[in-house]
Amino acid sequence: MGVSWVVRANLGDESVDAIFCGIICARKAAIMKNLHVPLPESLYMELRMAADRTRRPATTLARQAIELWLRQSQRAARHRAIAAFAAESAGTKLDLDPDLEAASAEHLAEFEQEGR
């Protein structure tokens, strides 16, 4: 099955010869799962055209779009959680120290005046 090669790896104090065979390199390859996603024809065609235009597989583009959406969704959820905590903590002992807040505001004003 395909090409085989030997790789010498240093693991701490030991050197190890590892034999890898073409496609079967489980240590390096991520385990992938399949997901069937029915798409409206117009979205499917847009995806196919983008794949043709970029010369990349449509599955790669779809995977990257899903990863981007998940990162953005997680970032938005984190932002909402921080904003909720800040709103709940306003005026309590968990709120920002008034002296530190004043110093930060002053520094920010100077920073903006310098045109940075």
Backbone angles phi, psi at 96, to 5 degrees: -65, 140
Instruction: Extract the tokens encoding 86.
Output: 């800040």
**Reported pTM:** 0.56
Q: What per-residue confidence (pLDDT) applies to 28? A: 55
Domain ranges of the chain: 4-113
Summarize pLDDT for 58-72 with one digit per residue, the tens: 999 999 999 999 999
10: Cβ–Cβ under 8 A, 6 or more apart, which residues? Answer: 16
d(CA 83, CA 89): 10
Residue 2 has pLDDT above 70, yes or no: no
